[in-house]
Amino acid sequence: MTRLAAERRHVVRFTLNGTPLEGEAEPRLLLSDFLRHQLGATGTHVGCEHGVCGACTITIDGALARACLMLAVQADGCALRTVEGLAPSPARLSVLQEALRRHHALQCGFCTAGILMSLDTYLRRHRNPSESDIRDLLSGHLCRCTGYTTIVRAALEAAAELANDLTSEDRNA
Amino acid sequence: MSDGMSQATADAEPTQTWVGRSIPRVEDAALLTGRGRFIDDLGVRAGTLHAALLRSPHAHADIAGINSEAAKRGPGVAAVLTGTDIKALTSSLVVGVKAPVECWPIASDRVRYVGEPVAIVVASDRYRAEDAADLIEVDYRPRPAVVDPLAAIAPDAPLLHDGFPSNVASDRRFRYGDPEAAFAAAAHRISIDIRYPRNSCTPIETYGVVADYDAAEDAYDVLANFQGPFSIHAVLSRALRVPGNRLRLRTPPDSGGSFGVKQGVFPYIVLIAAAARAVGRSVKWIEDRLEHLTASVSATNRATTLRAAVAADGRILALDWDQVEDCGAHLRAPEPATLYRMHGNLTGAYDIRHVAVRNRVVVTNKTPSGLNRGFGGPQVYFALERLVQRIALTLGLDPLDVIAGNLVPADAFPYRTATGALLDSGNYQEALARGIRDGGLAELKARRAAARAAGRLYGIGYAAVVEPSVSNMGYITTVLTPAERRKAGPKNGAQATATVSIDPVGSVAVHVASAPQGQGHRTVLSQVVADVFGLTPADIRVNTEIDTAKDAWSIASGNYASRFAAAVAGTAKLAAERLAARLARIAASQLNIAADDIAFAGGMVRSRRNPDNALPFSRLAAVSHWAPATLPSDAGTTIRETVFWTPPELTAPDEQDRINSSLCYGFIFDFCGIEIDRTTLQPRIDRYVTMHDCGTILHPGMVDGQIRGGFAQGLGAALYEEYAYGPDGSYLTGTFADYLLPTTAEVPAPVILHMQTPSPFTPLGAKGVGEGNCMSTPVCIGNAVADAIGASDIELPLSPARLAALVRGPEPAPPAGLTIEAMAAGGRELRGEGSAIVNAVPVQIWAMLLNPETLKAVIPGCHSVQKISDTHFRADVTLGIGPVKGRYRAEVTLSDLDPPRAVTLGGSADGALGFGQGEGRITLTPERDATRLHYAYTAAIGGKVASIGGRLLDGAARVIIRQFFTALAREAGGGTRRGGLWAKLRALFRRR
Amino acid sequence: MKPAPFDYVRAESLDEALDVLAREGGDARIIAGGQSLMPMLNMRLAKPKVLIDIMRIGEFARIDDANDRVTIGAGIRQATLLAWPDLKRRLALVALGLPWTGHAQTRSRGTVCGSIAHADPSAELPLMLLALSGAVHLRSRKHRRRVPAQDFFTGMMATTRADDELIEAVSFQAGTERCAFREVARRHGDFAIVACAAVASGHGVRLAVGGVADMPAARDFPRLAGAALDDALNGFAYDLGARDDLHASARHRRDLVRALGRELITEVLS
Ligand code: FES
Ligand code: FES
């Protein structure tokens, strides 16, 4: 059993987008604050801190999670992915990111990181989503700028493109 | 046509320019990869402290005392500052009406709304600051509160401010043309009463402020995600008691949306800047979502009676507006601007020559109002377009015919409205015709007919709206009388600024003070300037951060009133053109041709007649840096050009109170089909068509983005969103689980249509487009719902419960013998009753009720009871259900004693999670050798827990009250019921 | 909006968790997926002294299907159950109702048992547990007991769980019963204004309703039709003691119970 005392800082180690990292956290420190303010991974945003807006959505061991509803200490030993890990290289965007850009699917971009994480995770597992699948998935995110239409369109287009890529990979294999 | 597809504009000219194309945004790559730079992403000065605010749980109360000793001793705490401390360092914020009333960003002796700041804790981090805030004890003496604007003007209403003679801060009447005669002569007089609710566009990023104070120079340096207008800078420097040049206000590179709302950060700038001064360190504050929803800012709610004089054919001859505007607890700058922003266009899209207006501004115990997308438009059009539908219904006309029959004629532009607006351009009839045709109205009507034939609820609604943009900085002075205005001096115009500069290698940079909040200004400016210089947008680098110490700005700078496309982008064009004209002269001398033969294209500057005679743009552009002596003497420098532009059409209000409140007026025609599920009463938007004429379109993708975003917010306002208050002023929608923003599941893709009638008054022919759907969509949806259910009066948001009240007939009666436990109508008051048989005689029970030891045993979670008098006890209790627990100070009083038959038990509790008070009448009736104990109670709860746990609160309170009486019965039972399981007790306390 | 301080215990085994619970009692809270508790911590509605994280207790990560009961361990996340290949066949009602619980982004963390422990009267899982004659398996250092769902919930977010007990599992009656689920909320994914679950039972239908009373409520309806069914539903609707709140009126809730109840009962009986 590990008991971490309230007033002390404790070492937390995990991988963030594949890179092993460590920092120190009091038990009560939210994972969102740990990522942003200790590790400088400010791409994950905070919009409500009560689990509704979706801005802080990341993945933990491959599953979606609200970083504001987790403690940093809970993430110890896990594999975390955030928006900073989506692009294949600093100068290139992923298929999904590119699609959002093409469709003007963001304005202020504050909600975007969380939406990207949900879509990226979903599209890895679902090759052929319908519009209602995407709308259902994204109903866990609030965007105040776009009215959502272009986000949904971008997601569907990215899905089609990714499915194509997969099929051509299959063919090449 | 397919749903949701934006129709290509038919009347756009084929163009080779960058302007008018939906190029990818330069902003996006950083935002998509997590490299945005929002205020909370930026590093701060070493040693920066963090602030947390303690806020009032009461809507209206005197502060009898604040004890912050324990908080000051908290770990990491640098200071705890109260209103008195802040007042010592600052002055009151200016108030927009003439009255001896002050407006402070923090309360000192009295709180006037739930969420009003009461203390600031500054500590080493936010967690510790919040820990300390929990330790502050404030002694409140509650006063009666008033939340309804009409109730607030009643003679016996509780007064908010001693400086106003009543709660009416301003009362002005206006008269244009001869409304009395028009009303007297008209065939019909038709009127409507509406209530527009409180809501807000709630950006997903909250407020943030980082402030620093340099004591040696007596100067502040503030970073805030403030959006303008920068007229507020003058308010801030005054409040901070420094000249403007000692308040450096900067904005971060990115902002997570604003929609007007981030104007409301300004009182916190004062607060945090003063705190930084008090502690001598840099202080950072990031607002959290609870704070934001409770107390940031809100659009005004308004009660309006609108009357029309109408001819037999539906022509509207005159309007009579009576608007009561609720600005909340303080009149914060620039209020009461919401009420006057639409003043010039109170006749909407219609040609109505006679108008009477009475405008009253009232204060109530709610969060102060401020900028919000649509700003005054939703309130005005909800009345006007509901009235148009009512006129049609009353006269048996098609609403569309009433709209069409009253539109400003197409050949009348520029058209001067009765109240003073100069509608710049448009062709409303054409827009209507195209909307009907391309939006498929006939098909919708067929769907309505089919749905109705099948017994379903389906309605169609319309809205025709004029969308003002580029505010006249003088419109707000319409609230003053002409005499007051003469004394104050004229205010008018809308100074826009842009700076274009060229560096030593000839690359071009642009700076504007437009404070974008996500709209993509940098991209559009790169298009505009690229066109002037014959470059590509990628060649132009645009910076939109503002630093008032270094940049060109004016009071009109900022992101509001949809001024970017019309004013700012146009000003950037003018600045670039000025440089281009000079460059042309230099090029002419170098190429040995006339300046008017010069063309900028493809990165070259060349002769039109002889394209081979050319210079690279960058080489020419660098000359001013490297070889100024070679410049022709009349050319001037080309290093940097700043243009200030204000349109001459924006003059101050005249002696008759006519005001051209905005520069441009776009036109929107919306219609929609809505079906309402008969069982759930949930509205489903079948199709929403929105036709826009916003003049020249600079970037179609962004224009459609603005429309879709505004539509989603308008839909939210129509169906889901309300900042709700209890009658006692308690605030009820403090989380995103109660203040409901529409999600992907609720927002369909609107059908967007365009036509383009350029504005003759703006450099690019563009008009604003950002706010229109916030004005048109709520009433369009409202009209459709009213049409669907045949209701004459509807109130937003149109929740299923509200619709149920309108649609459903009488309810099936309850089964015989069941009475319904009622809650006071619309109230936060809980009522309940119950009874139990207790194994003791009344005198025994009576003795127990007066005994502190019994009370200790029966008050849930009681730690100690202190006897103050025979009938007054004080207790320290822990109350809660599930994980929600809090410690409270409780007072218990006994009154109306009728020994041993009846007593009234009063109780109140006060703690960090909120406060509650209640009263219960207990009666004891002997029944054989036992007693029937009957209780009936009312209770009310407020504070934090009401704001964020409203959904669960009533049940929780019932659990606690039941615990009390259960324990009382158990105690009285003298042990016979001991060990009794909850199930047994529940049986005991079954509702009768 | 930051939590007050607390100690954090990462329990590696059930015994460790029970030891801490026995010692700390009401000052400790179990955290599993955290989707209900964390918002309360952030808002400081809850200020426990100790959080006991049970997600690393291996034996809790189990779904057992035996003896006509499906038993779901305290470590099973809602998304895991939703992805369980036998779900449709064995717990058809849960397959219908679970997608209504929160959003994909919360189901991926939130646990089945956690939602039941939280006992929110509008939540779907307590409702389904009640409809399917489920039971809550409680464990303390001293004893182990199994409480039928109808006795477990006692009020708004109140249950019979003692301070030293934790939920080690919940179990549902399994089988391919005929069932139906319907929910009305303000928006997709919101807590229910009214949620109804109906399951064929014996000679009739068991109808369970959430979102109306302080806890989910169920009633067995014999085979009824027409006015008799209407009367029975009307009685049920009134008995639930609906109240007005921000999102719906008592009247609207009763209307929904009557209408959805009729729809569901008819569907299950057809
Ligand atoms: S910040 Fe985590 S969901 Fe809103
Ligand atoms: S782009 Fe601004 S909130 Fe989504």
CATH classification at residue A65: 3.10.20.30
* B713 Cα: distance to centroid of ligand 2 (angstroms): 12
C256 and B881 within 8 Å at the Cβ level: the answer is: no
Same domain for A168 and A116: yes
| Nearest-ligand number for the alpha carbon of A67 | 1
* Local structure of B369: helix, strand or coil: strand
| Nearest-ligand number for the alpha carbon of B205 | 2
CATH classification at residue B233: 3.90.1170.50
Same domain for B730 and B640: no
* C3 Cα: distance to centroid of ligand 2 (angstroms): 27
Same domain for C18 and C63: no
Note the pLDDT tens digit of each residue in B519-568.
999 999 999 999 999 999 999 999 999 999 999 999 999 999 999 999 99
Q: Which atom of ligand 1 is nearest to the CA of A52?
A: 3
Query: Encoding tokens for residue A164?
Result: 């194509």
Same domain for C121 and C48: no
Same domain for B234 and B278: yes
Note the pLDDT tens digit of each residue in B186-211.
999 999 999 999 999 999 999 999 99
Per the structure, the complete domain to which residue B931 belongs is given by 830-989
The answer to whether residue B60 is domain-embedded is yes
Given A55, A85, A115, which residue is the final one in a domain? A85
Per the structure, the complete domain to which residue A33 belongs is given by 10-85
C186 and B799 within 8 Å at the Cβ level: the answer is: yes
B229 with B515: CB under 8 angstroms?
A: no
Q: Is B812 in the C-facing interface, judged by CB distances under 8 Å?
A: yes
* Local structure of A64: helix, strand or coil: strand
pLDDT at B733 over 70: yes
**Segment 912-941 of chain B within 8 Å of chain C by CB:** 912-913
- Rounded Cα distance, B959 and C154, in Å: 9
Same domain for C188 and C245: yes
Chain A, chain C: beta-carbon pairs less than 8 Å apart: 112
CATH classification at residue C119: 3.30.465.10
* A55 Cα: distance to centroid of ligand 2 (angstroms): 9
Q: Which pLDDT band, with edges at 50, 70 and 90, does B839 fall under? A: confident
Instruction: Calculate the CA B191 to chain-centre distance.
Output: 28
Q: Looking at the 3D structure of chain C, how many domains does it have?
A: 3
Same domain for C158 and C64: yes
Same domain for B584 and B454: no
The answer to whether residue B824 is domain-embedded is no
Same domain for C62 and C49: no
Q: Looking at the 3D structure of chain A, how many domains does it have?
A: 2
Instruction: Calculate the CA B126 to chain-centre distance.
Output: 26
Among the partner-chain residues A6, A33, A137, the one whose CB lies closest to the CB of C104 is A137
A2 and C10 within 8 Å at the Cβ level: the answer is: yes
Note the pLDDT tens digit of each residue in B735-794.
999 999 999 999 999 999 999 999 999 999 999 999 999 999 999 999 999 999 999 999
- So what's the pLDDT on residue A171? 53
Mutate to test the interface with A, among C13, C23, C52, C103 (most CBs of A within 10 A): C103
| C184 min Cα distance to partner chain A (Å) | 16
Mean pLDDT for all residues in chain B: 92
Residues with C-beta less than 6 Å from any ligand 2 atom: A 106-112, 143-146; B 204, 257, 518
Higher pLDDT, C188 or B174: B174
- So what's the pLDDT on residue B825? 40
Q: Whose CA is nearest to atom 3 of ligand 2?
A: A143
Q: Which atom of ligand 1 is nearest to the CA of C105?
A: 3
Torsions phi, psi of C107, nearest 5?
-65, -25
Same domain for A127 and A79: no
The answer to whether residue A90 is domain-embedded is no
B679 and C250 within 8 Å at the Cβ level: the answer is: no
- So what's the pLDDT on residue A167? 67
- So what's the pLDDT on residue B8? 39
A28 and C4 within 8 Å at the Cβ level: the answer is: yes
- So what's the pLDDT on residue C95? 97
Per the structure, the complete domain to which residue C253 belongs is given by 179-269
Q: Is B312 in the C-facing interface, judged by CB distances under 8 Å?
A: no
- So what's the pLDDT on residue B14? 41
A2 and C9 within 8 Å at the Cβ level: the answer is: yes
B888 with B879: CB under 8 angstroms?
A: yes
Note the pLDDT tens digit of each residue in B846-861.
888 888 888 888 887 8
Among the partner-chain residues B130, B131, B720, the one whose CB lies closest to the CB of C187 is B720
- The stretch C228-233 carries a mean pLDDT of 95
Higher pLDDT, B13 or B965: B965
The answer to whether residue A5 is domain-embedded is no
The answer to whether residue C2 is domain-embedded is no
* B29 Cα: distance to centroid of ligand 2 (angstroms): 15
Query: Per the confidence metrics, is the pTM higher than 0.90?
Result: yes
- So what's the pLDDT on residue B83? 98
Which region holds residue A6: left if phi is over 0, alpha if psi is between -120 and 50, else beta? Answer: alpha
Given B607, B627, B645, which residue is the final one in a domain? B645
List all chains that touch chain A, counting a touch as 3 or more CB pairs closer than 8 Å: B, C
**Residue in chain B lying closest to A43 (CA):** B34
- So what's the pLDDT on residue B941? 79
Closest CA to C244 of B902, B805, B901: B805
* Local structure of B539: helix, strand or coil: helix
Tell me, using a 6 A CB cutoff, whether residue A109 lines ligand 1.
no
- So what's the pLDDT on residue C176? 66
Given A50, A85, A120, which residue is the final one in a domain? A85
B811 and C260 within 8 Å at the Cβ level: the answer is: no
ipTM higher than the 0.90 cut: yes
- So what's the pLDDT on residue B975? 37
Using an 8 Å CB-CB cutoff, list chain A residues near C8.
Answer: 3-4, 6, 27-28, 71, 73
* A94 Cα: distance to centroid of ligand 2 (angstroms): 19
Q: Is A58 in the C-facing interface, judged by CB distances under 8 Å?
A: no
Among the partner-chain residues B743, B815, B884, the one whose CB lies closest to the CB of C235 is B815
Given B593, B620, B645, which residue is the final one in a domain? B645
pLDDT at B980 over 50: no
The answer to whether residue C249 is domain-embedded is yes
pLDDT at B581 over 70: yes
Chain A, chain B: beta-carbon pairs less than 8 Å apart: 177
Same domain for B513 and B461: no
B667 with B468: CB under 8 angstroms?
A: no
* Local structure of C72: helix, strand or coil: strand
- Rounded Cα distance, B747 and A119, in Å: 18
Same domain for C156 and C191: no
Same domain for A79 and A46: yes
Among the partner-chain residues B38, B202, B705, the one whose CB lies closest to the CB of A146 is B705
**Residue in chain B lying closest to C231 (CA):** B815
Closest CA to B308 of B370, B260, B339, B354: B354
B736 and A48 within 8 Å at the Cβ level: the answer is: yes
Q: Whose CA is nearest to atom 3 of ligand 1?
A: A51
- The stretch A137-163 carries a mean pLDDT of 97
pLDDT at B143 over 80: yes
One-letter amino acid for residue B410 of the chain: A
| A172 min Cα distance to partner chain B (Å) | 30
Among the partner-chain residues B4, B289, B520, the one whose CB lies closest to the CB of A149 is B4
**Residue in chain C lying closest to A122 (CA):** C104
pLDDT at A169 over 90: no
pLDDT at B844 over 80: yes
Same domain for C101 and C21: no
Query: Encoding tokens for residue B757?
Result: 């009638």
Q: Is B949 in the C-facing interface, judged by CB distances under 8 Å?
A: yes
Tell me, using a 6 A CB cutoff, whether residue A111 lines ligand 1.
no
Q: Which pLDDT band, with edges at 50, 70 and 90, does B824 fall under? A: very low
- So what's the pLDDT on residue A173? 45
Same domain for B704 and B684: yes
pLDDT at B315 over 70: yes
- Rounded Cα distance, B747 and A145, in Å: 12
Closest CA to B413 of B374, B466, B458: B466
Higher pLDDT, B33 or B948: B33
Q: Whose CA is nearest to atom 4 of ligand 2?
A: A143
Q: Is C175 in the A-facing interface, judged by CB distances under 8 Å?
A: no
* Local structure of B367: helix, strand or coil: coil
B956 and C193 within 8 Å at the Cβ level: the answer is: no
pLDDT at B4 over 60: no
Most confident of A8-17, B883-892, B926-935: A8-17
CATH classification at residue A139: 1.10.150.120
Note the pLDDT tens digit of each residue in A22-42.
999 999 999 999 999 999 999
- So what's the pLDDT on residue B404? 98
Sign of CA dihedral B445, B446, B447, B452: positive
Tell me the percentage of chain B whose pLDDT exceeds 70. 95
- Rounded Cα distance, B497 and B507, in Å: 20
- Tokens 């704001």 — which residue? B947
Q: Which pLDDT band, with edges at 50, 70 and 90, does C199 fall under? A: very high
Note the pLDDT tens digit of each residue in B51-104.
999 999 999 999 999 999 999 999 999 999 999 999 999 999 998 888 889 999
- Buried residues in B808-844 as b, exposed as e (16+ CB within 10 A): eeeebeeeeeeeebebeeeebbbebbbbbebebebee
Among the partner-chain residues A7, A71, A139, the one whose CB lies closest to the CB of C103 is A139
Among the partner-chain residues B740, B804, B959, the one whose CB lies closest to the CB of C187 is B740
- So what's the pLDDT on residue B974? 43
Same domain for B438 and B420: yes
Same domain for B521 and B628: yes
- The stretch B961-989 carries a mean pLDDT of 54
Closest CA to B374 of B19, B775, B63, B801: B775
Using an 8 Å CB-CB cutoff, list chain A residues near B127.
Answer: 26, 28-29
Chain B, chain C: beta-carbon pairs less than 8 Å apart: 157
- So what's the pLDDT on residue B973? 65
Tell me the percentage of chain B whose pLDDT exceeds 90. 79
- So what's the pLDDT on residue B7? 40
Query: If you ran DSSP here, which 8-state letter would residue B949 be given?
Result: -
Note the pLDDT tens digit of each residue in C64-113.
999 899 999 999 999 999 999 999 999 999 999 999 999 999 999 999 99
Using an 8 Å CB-CB cutoff, list chain B residues near C231.
Answer: 815
Given B645, B675, B700, which residue is the final one in a domain? B645
C151 and B948 within 8 Å at the Cβ level: the answer is: no
Mean pLDDT for all residues in chain C: 95
Q: Looking at the 3D structure of chain B, how many domains does it have?
A: 4
Note the pLDDT tens digit of each residue in B851-910.
888 888 888 788 888 889 988 989 888 877 778 878 888 888 889 999 889 999 888 888
- So what's the pLDDT on residue B853? 83
List all chains that touch chain B, counting a touch as 3 or more CB pairs closer than 8 Å: A, C
| B220 min Cα distance to partner chain C (Å) | 28
* A45 Cα: distance to centroid of ligand 1 (angstroms): 8
A64 and C105 within 8 Å at the Cβ level: the answer is: yes
C3 and A28 within 8 Å at the Cβ level: the answer is: yes
